[in-house]
Structure 1
Amino acid sequence: MTRTNAQVHLSLQTKLSFIVTLIMALALASNISIDYLNSLKTTEEAGFKKLDTQFAIFEQFTERSTELFEQELNQIPVELYLKTPRSSGLPKALSVNPNISELRILDFNGKELRVWQSANSTSAPKVLQQQLINKVRLEPKPASRIFCESQCYQTSFTPVIADSGRPYIVNGIRDLSPVLLAFNTLTNSDAALGNSPSRLFIATNAGRTKSLINELEKKTAFFHSDAPVYTNTSQGTTVAASRPLNDTLSHSALQLVLLFDDRDAQASIQSSLKNSLVSAGVALLLTVLMTYLALRRALLKLVNLSNAIPMLSDSSYDRLRDSLAKYTKQTRYNDEIDQLNYTVLDVADALEEMEGSVATHRQELLHTIAELKETQEFNNALVNDSPLVIAAFRLNGQMIQLNDYGRKLAGWEKSDVENRSVVDLILPDPIGHTILDNLKPLISGRETRAQSEQLIRNEKGSVSYLTWIHAKVATRSEPMILSVGLDVTERRRTENRLRWLSKHDAITDLLNREAFHTEATQLIEQYRDTHTIELMMFDIDKFSSYNDMYGFQHGDNMLRETARFIERLIACHTIIGRTGTNEFSALLIIDEDDTTTAEKDKVFRVDGHALRFYSALENDAIEVNITAVVARHQEDGETVDDMLSNCAATLRALKPIDRGKVNYISSQVDNRAARQEKVQMHDSIVKALAEDRFVLYFQPIYNLDRNRITHCECLVRMQTEDGRILAPVSFLDIAKASGLMPRIDYLVLKMALMQLRVWADNNIHLKLSVNITADTFESDRFIKQLQQLLTDTGANSGQLIFEVVETEAINNLENAKALCKKLDALDVQIAFDDFGIGFTSFEYLRDLPVDFIKIDQSFIRYIYKRKSDQLLVKSMVDMAQALGKKVIAEGVEDQGSAELLREMGVHYLQGYYISKPCKASRLDLNYTLPTI
């Protein structure tokens, strides 16, 4: 709402003048008030000081009067008075000093010899008389005390030595009124003696003094208080105090009250106050006048500016400049308001210029606001719908908050949370430590973050596995622990499934090649000295033709039927595994003493018809023929690899007439042939290394997020002397067995880095993924060789990715950790190859600093058709994303698989659907996937 035309009801000049006046008035009033209060305080202190002086004067005056009274008694001619007849009347001392109302002469033992009393005489109490007589006898000097009955008197016992030398005691009693009157005359202060305000025995100006004391007592209760009072009374400003009379003067507890009128001092203060107020008023008027004159021109400029500024909202820039012109022409003596005038002119220029671009930016701003709103809504949905358990609790474990997902898992109501402990939510770990035990370093401040994997059990007893991240959060009230838990229950189930799959073939449920190799090695080691050990290898004849003719689904079904057929065919004392695409192997452990003839026949005398069965199609059945090869373990040094290699070589060498039968290997001939084949391949590898006949093929890896090829995998090939290209399966096993892999790895790495440099020189920024075997990866020289190659080739290490077979790396976890850290320092990335086929614990992947995982193609190749593969791959992708790893899917061969993998959240695709491996010159780096 605009207010630029609002009417000014009170000008700034008036407001400033009022404020200055108010401030000055407050300052002057404060100063006068302080002076006035200080004067009152000073006057009061002076009154109290004067009162203290008068108490001292009273004591001195009374003591001096007592001394004179005692001297007067000492001068009495005792023996002369004793000789005077009793009828002769009052002695001279009583007649001369009318204040003496009683005179007695006693011998030194206190016996009364003669008494003279006036008409209004009052005797001292007997007890007091005896005390004073004893005191005089004990110490021959005068003893006097004041006592009060209806009036106040002073009695004095004075020792006297008569002319005859005989000692006497003279006792005199006098009225105390003359002493108080004399004090009043001397100090102009009233005095009174009494036990209480209602029982005053004697007072100067008795009527006025007693009335004033009663008034003060009602007002301040000062009579039995040592504190003096300074207050206004009905008779003026009174200063008064009540103090106990000195014990040397008084017989009983008497209060001495002294008071005087201090109205003259108050009048002086009031006069000073009046003068100060007059002076302050004059000063205030002069200040206001000077302020008004000093601010007048400046305020006129400010008023003009306030009238001009609203013109900005109307875009009346020329009128504004004219309005300010008369105050901006002169540049001398400029002040802040002049600077403000210039600033307003600058603002007007800027606004005038800005209005030209406002319309253009308005649409951009609206578009940006819409995007921000969309982003905010997305973020809110992401946080609110995130399937995470979020818990906050105090350092003692008391729960503060638990989100909806956490309460759902725990089975808690919202009202239950604050009455629970985090120990009720998160179960102890396997060794019995509670979550609070595990978080002690975090709670104490030794750590800033903690991670754990612990369970939640709900009220019904079901358990959920969660991976927790804990952090200590400082709030204004108190520190607390914030815990975020990811539900990994499904991951645990998948992990158990993967553990099984790591040892078994997913299609046939038999042992896979690696697990078969491991278990067979153990069995040979255990039984080679006591049993007969034979390896049977089965091969499905024309399996590739069946696949091509009937499809992969029927091919998988045929593999399963073959597995069951072999299990029925072979005796129970064995292990069976799928060791190739259409290849099955069984290790037979035969005890010649215990094996029955029937069992031997079943194992060894399988005729040709026994190696056939029918595989069912939808409306038909086809005959499946199987060829078998049997090799007996003969030598102590013969390994499972040797036996498998011998059987495979024998299968390849079989003539058509020998297919569909059981073929027994002659150990003397066939083993020698297999070894000769290995020796020839070893020599070929060595010669190829010497003659640089290893070449690189490249298979593109497609980035789904960026919709283009971002890196390639290097695949090594060996060229024979006659120009044929051999795939790695033909020579890598022999190279590994003969220790040649480090040389091949080094050569491949060198060629890969040289290719990176060629691409960089041609402005092609592509990453290369290089396979490294465990022997090379764990070599002490590996890092130094890599650094030297990077220096020699000039390649960028940030473009390099090493692929390590997952099982090899995990079997050497500590070495893998150390090497990964060194490679990270070189900006080299790491990928786990063949992920999922040999994995024993997902915790290893969590701990190793790898960047990519490559899901083995056995899970990917038929994923579009197999529901089980879909579930497993989805679990692996979710797990990898939770750990911050990028996922590459190998073996993608059709569009349906590509679509499915994109939906699952896979980041990269690799396979024949993208491109077959080829030389660098044949790569199509501009390839993009069809729209999905």
Structure 2
Amino acid sequence: MPGPVHPSTRPTRTSRSRRPFLSLKWRALLLTSLVLLGLAVMYTLLSHANLNLQFEQHREVIHERQARESRVAMVSSREHLQQLGSLLPSLSGMGPALQRRDRSAVAASFDPQWPVIQLEVGIDEVLIFSAEGEHLGTWGEPLGHPERGAAPPITDWIREALQQQAPRHALWCETRCRQYAIVPLLVEGVLGGAVVLSRSLAEVALNAQRISGSDIGLLIHRAHPDPDLVPERHLAPWSGNVAILTGELHTRPVLHAASKLWPLETLVHSPRQLDWQDQHYELTALPLEVTPGSRAGHLLLISDITEQMQAIRQDTRTALAVALSGWLAAELLLLGILWGPMDRLRRLSEQLPLLARGEFQAVRRAVGQPRRQLADEIDLMDVVTLDLSSQLEALEERVKARDRELSARMAELGRQRDFVNRLLDTARVIIVTHDAGGRITLVNAYGQSLVGLSADEIRGQRFRDIFMNGGADQASGEPLSQEETALLGSDREPRTVAWYHAPLHNAETGNATVISVGLDVTARKAAEERLSWLASHDPLTNLPNRRAFQAAMDKAFERPSARGAILFLDLDQFKDINDFSGHQSGDQLLNLVAEALEEVVGADGMVARLGGDEFGILLRDAEEPQATALAERVARRLERVALPVGGLRHRTTASVGVALFPRHGDNPLDLMASADLAMYQAKDAGPGHWHILPTANKVREAVQERVYWVEYLRDALAEGKFELFAQPLLRLADDHVNHYELLVRMRGPNGELVSPGRFIPIAEHSRQIVELDRWVLREALDLMRRLHRSRPDLHLAVNLSAHSLHSDDLYDMLAKELQRHRIDASHLTLEITETAAVTDFVKAKGMISRIRELGCHFSLDDFGVGFSSFHYLRQLPASFVKIDGLFIRDLERNPDDRLLVQAMINIAHGFGKQTVAEYVGSAEVLELLREYGVTYAQGFFISHPMPISEAFGQILAADEQRGSGVIRLPTNTSPRSPRRSGSK
């Protein structure tokens, strides 16, 4: 990283500090000259183009007039011939001679007039015919050579004119072009004959020349030169001979040059200009309307436009001279304006390099004091230069100070870099950085050892090829986050790695870099898979559990036309086996029962362990005969199950209740209630019996009994027939007790204690559980208020049902009670199960977060059974995790339980949760839990649940007497045999 440049190391002079090759004033003059010259040239070109346009428009008018006048001349000549022919019968003796068809009389009448007609009128040939078409006389020279077949068809014209008795006109071109007029002659009102008069177009051409002022040429199309004409008159490119040409000495070379430049048709469509021997000519071709059978011809107009073109050039030169004069005057004026300011600006620019070399005093001396009055922009630049020199001088001092600070900072960054490198190499996680193309740029030592490659071998390869076994690249535009992939390490053992990706922006290169951190979660994934399996299975018998059985019933009976049955089994005298031979023998017997049930049911149904010694069987699409037959087979098969223990053989039987869908219930809950009722009736009949409710009346009777308990619960809530019990939690770090779980008990009709397993399900079903939870919370908060006067360190835990957790007024009620009792909410823990949390996870999470804001803690109860993944553990803001007693009860004898408990404890601690183990029933289990790092232990070995008066009697008595002493509760009690009902 380059450091700042000190003045001492700054170069004294570079090529950039030398005077520019071209100063600003000359640049300004050059640029303005280019612009003005461009404008002058543009003005001249526009003037020239405008003059040419005006000339062309004028010439187009002239060409149209010439063409029109040429056509008028042709028509006038034709009409003149016709008029002359019409006067022939008026000659002396001509009319009788025609009627007699007397050739000599016709000749005698016409001969005196022929010289006049030939010379003054310009007639080339006259032919007179009788009314029958007989030739009576010829005067003049005929056109063409009849022997060559080139003469005009005069006989045909005479015949047509006599037949139609109307004049006829023709234009015939051979070696020359003539106009013909064939005029019928009337003698005393009767057709007396016809006359043919012809005239050369030379007369017409001369008239056109006199009118237009242009030279005229008559071009007759012939492939070969005419022997009667000079060879120079033949134009080979145009395939024609020039029969008539005015001004031949100077126009003939022009025609030869034009024929080589343009086709004749080009001159017909538009005039063309030709420069020839310092003269300018314009050529136009007018096609002649010749008679069919004649050779084609064109009238050529050659106009000398030299004077017009010279006038245009002269006007253009004048415009250019005016433009250049304006440019020169503007440049001189601009030079006079810029000379002084630019010279001052040049001197100022010579001082600026001194600022780069740090010669600030020299700059201030050279600039001097700027003008105060009539200041301009350059004076302002002088002021700015002076200010800049002062600021740069101060900035250079600060740069030196910053350079010293930067050097110290770089040394500190070096030390931090070394620390980070050591941290990366010692971290037990994979740390990889790769560019936007997925190419690895850095990998730590742990990542190298995991894949068995060195840093040089890994660097530059694709990240997913090395660490994700060539997995597909992330989709374009997808944000970087986290993912789990499989990795085959150098030991060829498959591993599961959780990757966390985050973008890093490289400020130096501007490129995006990705840092990926990989955690080896193989052990955690194995524990999760085990817990996921436990969520739907019983770990002892490997059968589906109550949750899976409930889900299977929901799916089997969701169709309106569904049929089926469920069997509810409860083992007889199973408690005696546990008490006599221990829980290990009871567990072995439960496994034998599970095997027997699967053997009997087979693929016909589903067998599940519902809890304790209760089993369930689901039969889909079954009627009463199939259900009762299966119940009989199950009862008989279980009679053969025997477990040898010592010298004894424990046998078992089961009471089976059968319920049919939809006869005994149209929903799974009612169906289970009916099966439970049928099971109790079977148990009343003695061990090994099965029972099916015969009619729906029996179900109604059971419902009536439940209604009785619903009403009793309502009365109990109103009359205060509930009591609180407390069970201590032992803190294993110091064997101290300052946490208690409060449990609720109910007094029955005869004053006996009713266990929660009897009235809690009814309270939940009747929605009275919310009111019961409110009673427990109020009592617990009142108790905490009294206890904290003497023992402010005590913490109380209260169980909360799903109904209460999802009620909208829980937060308001709890906030109001905490305010009323004025106690520290952090000493209150609310215990919830996974079922209560995930029924409506978003709502539950929101309620838990709000209550946490009050200061209360939460504990996840029955952890390990209900969770299908650790998703909820990570997202729910719970402080405590209570591991289900199912895994704790036989911890010292079951290796699988020990593995799962260790995993759950590590995961909970990893998420920052404290752990509570329940169902602690022996000293061995307690020591294992202490070894695993469990925070609190709870169970019969610690203490049975006790009434409030027994658990806190001394503290409450001391509070009543306002004593100041603090009485410590015992932290342990003598071991007791845990009961099947558990600590609650």
Normalised-by-shorter TM-score class: 0.5 to 0.7
Q: Normalising to structure 1: TM-score of the pair?
A: 0.53
- How many Å apart are 1:637 and its aligned residue? 5.0
Which secondary structure does the structure 2 equivalent of 1:911 belong to?
coil
Matched, 1:504 2:532: no
Pairing partner for 2:694 from 666, 684, 692:
666
Q: Aligned runs of 1:99-110 on 2, under 5 Å? A: none
Q: What is the deviation of 1:682?
A: 0.6
Give the secondary-structure state (helix, strand or coil) at the position aligned to 2:603: coil
Is contact 1:830-1:850 (8 Å) kept? yes
1:856 correspondence with 2:859 = no
Distance in 2 between residues matched to 1:904 and 1:648, nearest whole Å: 40
- Equivalence for 2:703: 675
3-state SS in 1 of match to 2:653: strand
Secondary structure, aligned partner of 2:945:
coil
Distance 1:899 1:408, change over 3 A: farther
Note closer, same or farther for the CA distance 1:607–1:432 as it changes in structure 2 (3 Å cut). closer
| Deviation of the 1:802 alpha carbon | 1.4
Q: Kindly indicate whether residue 465 of structure 2 is the aligned counterpart of residue 433 of structure 1.
A: no
Q: Matched residues in 2 for 1:435 and 1:895: separation?
A: 59
Q: How do residues 369-518 of structure 1 correspond to structure 2 at under 5 angstroms?
A: 387-391=428-432, 399=440, 401-420=442-461, 422-427=463-468, 433=474, 438-439=479-480, 453-458=484-489, 463-468=494-499, 484-518=517-551
Q: CA 1:918/1:537 → structure 2, altered by over 3 Å: closer, same or farther?
A: same
Q: Distance in 2 between matches of 1:605 and 1:687?
A: 42
Provide the rounded CA distance (Å) in 2 between the counterparts of 1:429 and 1:759: 64
Which residue is 1:16 aligned to?
none
1:912 is matched with: 940
Determine if the alignment matches structure 1 residue 552 to structure 2 residue 583: yes
- Aligned-pair CA distance for 1:485: 3.5
How far did residue 577 of structure 1 move? 1.3
Shift of 1:829: 1.6
Q: How much has 1:681 moved relative to structure 2?
A: 0.9
Count of aligned residue pairs for this structure pair: 537
Give yes or no for the alignment of 1:535 onto 2:563.
no
Offset of 1:451 from its aligned partner?
Answer: 5.5
Q: Does 1:750 align with 2:793?
A: no
Contact 2:532 2:867 in 1 (8 A): yes
* Amino acid across the alignment from 2:742: C
- Asked whether 1:777 is paired with 2:792, we answer no
Q: Give the CA deviation at 1:563.
A: 1.1
Conserved? CA contact 2:678–2:692, under 8 Å? no
C-alpha deviation, 1:586, in angstroms? 1.0
SS of residue in 2 equivalent to 1:508: coil
1:562 is the counterpart of 2:593: yes
Partners of 1:804 and 1:896 lie apart in 2 by 28
1:504, CA displacement in angstroms?
1.1
* Deviation by residue 1:822-842 (Cα, 9 ceiling, x = unmatched): 122212222211112122222
Query: Residues 803-839 of structure 1: CA distance to partner in whole angstroms, max 9, x if unpaired?
Result: 1111331232211222232122212222211112122
Change (3 A) 1:728 1:607: closer
2:970 matched residue in structure 1: 927
- Deviation for aligned residue 1:459: 5.8
Distance 1:619 1:689, change over 3 A: closer
Render the CA deviation track for 1:832-855: whole Å, top value 9, x for unaligned.
Answer: 111121222222322222222211
Contact map agreement 1:702 1:708 (CA 8 A) in 2? yes
Equivalent-residue separation in structure 1 for 2:475 and 2:795 (angstroms): 47
1:607 touches 1:661 (CA, 8 Å); kept in 2? no
Give distance in 2, aligned partners of 1:537 and 1:888. 33
Contact persistence 1:631–1:667 (CA under 8 A): no
Deviation (angstroms), 1:749: 0.9
Instruction: Note if contact 2:657-2:677 (Cα within 8 Å) is conserved in structure 1.
Output: no
**Structure 1 residue 911, shift from structure 2 partner:** 1.5
Q: Distance in 1 between matches of 2:767 and 2:702?
A: 19
Q: 1:909 to 1:403 in 2, by over 3 A?
A: farther
Task: Please give the per-residue CA displacement for 1:341-372, whole angstroms capped at 9, x wherever unaligned.
Answer: xxxxxxxxxxxxxxxxxxxxxxxxxxxxxxxx
Tell me what 1:248 maps to. Answer: none
Structure 2 matches for 1:14-33, cutoff 5 A? none
Cα drift, residue 503 of structure 1:
1.0
**Corresponding residue number in structure 2 for 1:695:** 723
- The match for 2:907 among 879, 882, 892 is 879
Residues 575 and 587, structure 1, Cα contact 8 Å, conserved in 2: yes
For 2:749 and 2:521, locate their aligned partners in 1 and report how far apart those are by CA, in whole Å: 54
* 3-state SS of paired residue (2:594): helix
- 810, 813, 826: which one aligns with 1:798: 826
The answer to whether the Cα contact below 8 Å between 2:627 and 2:658 also exists between their aligned partners in 1 is no
Q: Which amino acid aligns with 1:800?
A: L
Quote the residue 1:617 is aligned against: 644
* Residue in 2 that maps onto 1:521: 554
Once residues 883 and 655 of structure 1 are traced to their aligned partners in structure 2, the CA distance between those partners, rounded to angstroms, is: 47
Contact 1:757 1:796 in 2 (8 A): no
Q: Does 1:572 align with 2:572?
A: no
SS at 2:710 equivalent: helix
Q: Write the distance in 1 (CA, Å) between the matches of 2:936 and 2:423.
A: 24
Q: Which residue of 2 aligns with 1:808?
A: 836
**1:423/1:434 contact within 8 Å kept:** no
CA-to-partner distance for each residue in 1:674-724, whole Å, 9 max, x for gaps? 112211111111001001122211222222234322322221111224322
Identical pairs, percent: 30
Counterparts of 2:439 and 2:637 in 1: how far apart (Å)?
Answer: 72
Matched position secondary structure for 1:467? strand
Q: Deviations over 1:632-663 (max 9, x none)?
A: 33448543333333333344455665321233
Corresponding position: 1:603 with 2:617:
no
In the superposition, relative to structure 1, how do residues 833 and 606 fare at CA in structure 2: closer, same or farther (>3 Å)?
same
1:571 CA drift (Å):
5.6
**Distance across 2 between alignment mates of 1:550 and 1:381:** 59
Would you say the 8 A contact 1:709–1:926 is kept in 2?
yes
- Residues 654 and 770 (structure 1), Cα distance of their counterparts in 2 relative to 1, 3 Å cut: same
Alpha-carbon separation, structure 1, partners of 2:943 and 2:422: 39
C-alpha deviation, 1:773, in angstroms: 1.4
Q: Residue 248 of structure 2 corresponds to which residue in structure 1? A: none
Q: Among 649, 652, 657, which residue is 2:677 paired with?
A: 649
SS of residue matched to 2:652: strand
Deviates more, 1:726-735 or 1:805-814: 805-814
Query: Which AA in structure 2 matches 1:547?
Result: N
What runs of 5+ residues in structure 2 fail to find an aligned partner? 1-420, 953-967, 975-984
| TM-aligned CA deviation for residue 420 of structure 1 | 4.3
Partner residue in 2 for 1:370: none
Change beyond 3 A, Cα 1:430–1:708 = farther
Question: Which one-letter code corresponds to 2:862 in the other structure?
Answer: D
Contact 2:606–2:618 (Cα < 8 Å) also in 1: yes
Q: Which SS does the other structure have where 2:946 is aligned?
A: coil
Assess if the C-alpha contact under 8 Å between 1:571 and 1:603 holds in 2: no
State the Cα deviation string for residues 318-337 of structure 1 (Å, max 9, x = none): xxxxxxxxxxxxxxxxxxxx
- Partners of 1:877 and 1:428 in 2: CA distance: 32
Tell me, which stretches of 5 or more residues in structure 1 are unaligned? 1-379, 440-449
Q: CA 1:765–1:452 in structure 2 vs 1: closer, same or farther (change >3 Å)?
A: farther
Give 1:787 deviation, angstroms. Answer: 0.7
- Secondary structure at 1:761's aligned position in 2? coil
**In 1: Cα distance, 2:870 partner to 2:678 partner:** 40
